[in-house]
């Protein structure tokens, strides 16, 4: 069992990288499934090219694997056609434990692609665990980086709503514990969050304090947000509209719940937004 690999899909992402690094640091045999050959790992791990929609990549990815971490690529919304067949192949190859990366609140929304993956996995003859995290801090250094660096402004349509911010490094480490410990987490749902719900006014204050310049939040509406994203970023319209939905949930106060799931599993408190901004300050250097 110990020599059978744990497969991590989306291994090059914000969650995948710390997950792979944590497993490798603990001496776990991890197989990083990536869409391209580019890797960003400090640890030496086995990497394979993987695509949910390319069945020629499945055999080498799932060979002799004992566990699988499933991260849905954002552009694959028809999960019945694009994700489920690969899951079938993984289980047929001998995978015994499937851990899904989902979103908080997925259990109450059967139409979400995340929930449809969860339900499919639950119906299979394998152990399963769902990880439904709160709002990613890395959205600030990724999706919303341009507005902060170029305009000294957080441009999101979230009104005065607060979010339960969590660092994806914490999500990765939590998922690593679940995968390493295996079946004792069978049937469990974890909803990790940060230590405190903060609105974007408070986040702007933290950014200002750490970066040493004023970062503003002016409560932009949906139209200004869409214009900014279309003009200043390379994100596709479908992603932008999905982002609008997420921030509408924040606007209406549906993303504020705080849990102790992460502290229970990791034995330490989650990283704060201040910790995150200090660690990633170079991401928001002012553009010239």
**In this predicted model, what pLDDT tens digit does every residue of 61-94 receive, in sequence order?**
999 999 999 999 888 889 999 999 999 999 999 9
Question: Is residue 217 pLDDT above 90, yes or no?
Answer: yes
Q: Could you tell me if 34 and 118 lie in one domain?
A: yes
Q: Is the pLDDT of residue 45 over 80?
A: yes
Residue 188 lies in a domain: no
Same structural domain, 127 and 220? no
Which residues, at least 6 apart from 286, have a Cβ–Cβ distance to it below 8 Å? 149, 150, 152, 213
Closest CA to 67 of 106, 35, 100: 100
Whether residue 153 is found in the same domain as residue 64: no
Q: Which tokens go with 236? A: 């596709």
Q: Which domain holds residue 120?
A: 6-132
Output the average pLDDT for the chain.
94
Distance CA 83, CA 93 (A): 16
Q: State the Cα–Cα distance between residues 13 and 279, nearest whole angstrom.
A: 17
- What is the pairing mode between strands 127-131 and 97-101? parallel
pLDDT given for residue 230 in this prediction:
96
* Structure-model confidence comparison of residues 131 and 73, the more confident one: 131
Based on the fold, state whether residues 117 and 143 are members of the same structural domain.
no
Q: pLDDT band for position 37 (50/70/90)?
A: low
State residue 142's pLDDT score. 95
- List the beta bridge partners of residue 70: 100
Averaged pLDDT, 123-128? 97
Res 2 pLDDT > 70: no
Are 130 and 100 a contacting pair, CB within 8 Å?
A: yes
For residue range 263-274, list pLDDT tens digits in order.
999 999 999 999
In angstroms, the Cα distances linking 61 to 33, 65, 67, 99, 184 are: 7, 8, 11, 16, 24
Rounded-to-integer distance, Cα 165 and Cα 35, Å: 28
The residue-averaged pLDDT of 145-161 equals: 97
Angle at 219 between CA 223 and CA 104, to 5 degrees: 85
Neighbours of 6 (CB within 10 A): 24
Q: How many CB atoms lie within 10 A of CB 35?
A: 17
Same domain for 160 and 114: no
The confidence score (pLDDT) of residue 213 equals: 97
Domain boundary among 91, 116, 132: 132
pLDDT tens sequence across 173-195: 999 999 999 999 999 999 999 99
Considering the domain architecture, whether residues 111 and 145 belong to the same structural domain is answered as: no
User: Rounded to 5 degrees, what are φ and ψ at 107?
Assistant: -65, -20
Q: Report CA 261 to chain centroid distance, whole Å.
A: 16
Residue 286 has a pLDDT of 83
pLDDT of residue 131: 98
Least confident of 37-51, 211-225, 246-260: 37-51
pLDDT at 101 over 80: yes
d(CA 252, CA 67): 37
pLDDT of residue 110: 86
Q: Cα–Cα–Cα angle for 131, 134, 138, nearest 5°?
A: 105
Residue 288's pLDDT is: 61
Classify residue 81 by burial, with Cβ atoms within 10 Å: 0-12, 13-18, 19+: exposed
Mean pLDDT of 17-33: 96
- Domain annotation covers residue 179: no
Which of 132, 152, 172 finishes a domain?
Answer: 132
**Rounded Cα–Cα distance for residues 254 and 179 (Å):** 29
Are 50 and 34 a contacting pair, CB within 8 Å?
yes
Q: Are residues 96 and 152 in the same domain?
A: no
> 37-65 b/e with 16+ CB inside 10 Å = b?
eeeebeeebebbebbbeeeebbeebbeeb
Whole-prediction pTM value? 0.94
């Amino acid at each position: 069992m110990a020599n059978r690999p744990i497969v991590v899909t989306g291994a090059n992402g914000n969650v995948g990288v710390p997950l792979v690094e944590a497993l490798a640091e603990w001496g776990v045999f991890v197989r990083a499934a990536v869409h391209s050959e580019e890797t960003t790992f400090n640890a030496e791990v086995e990497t394979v090219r993987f695509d949910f929609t390319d069945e020629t990549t499945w055999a080498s990815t799932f060979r002799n694997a004992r566990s699988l971490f499933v991260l849905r690529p954002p552009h694959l919304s028809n999960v019945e056609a694009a994700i489920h067949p690969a899951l079938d192949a993984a289980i047929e190859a001998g995978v015994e434990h499937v851990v899904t990366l989902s979103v908080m609140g997925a259990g109450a929304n059967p139409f979400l692609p995340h929930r449809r993956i969860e339900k499919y996995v639950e119906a299979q003859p394998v152990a399963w665990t769902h990880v439904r995290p709160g709002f990613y801090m890395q959205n600030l250094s990724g999706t919303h980086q341009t507005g902060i660096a170029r305009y000294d402004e957080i441009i999101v349509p979230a009104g005065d709503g607060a979010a339960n911010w969590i660092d994806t490094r914490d999500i990765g480490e939590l998922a690593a514990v679940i995968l390493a410990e295996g079946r004792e987490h069978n049937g469990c749902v974890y909803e990790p969050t940060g230590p405190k719900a903060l609105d974007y006014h408070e986040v702007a204050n933290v950014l200002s304090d750490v970066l040493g310049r004023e970062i503003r939040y002016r409560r932009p509406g949906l139209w200004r947000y869409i214009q900014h994203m279309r003009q200043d970023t390379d994100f596709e319209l479908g992603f932008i509209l999905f982002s609008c939905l997420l921030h509408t949930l924040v606007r209406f106060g549906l993303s504020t719940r705080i849990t102790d799931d992460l502290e229970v599993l990791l034995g330490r408190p989650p990283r704060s937004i201040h910790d995150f901004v200090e660690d990633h300050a170079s991401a928001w250097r002012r553009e010239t």
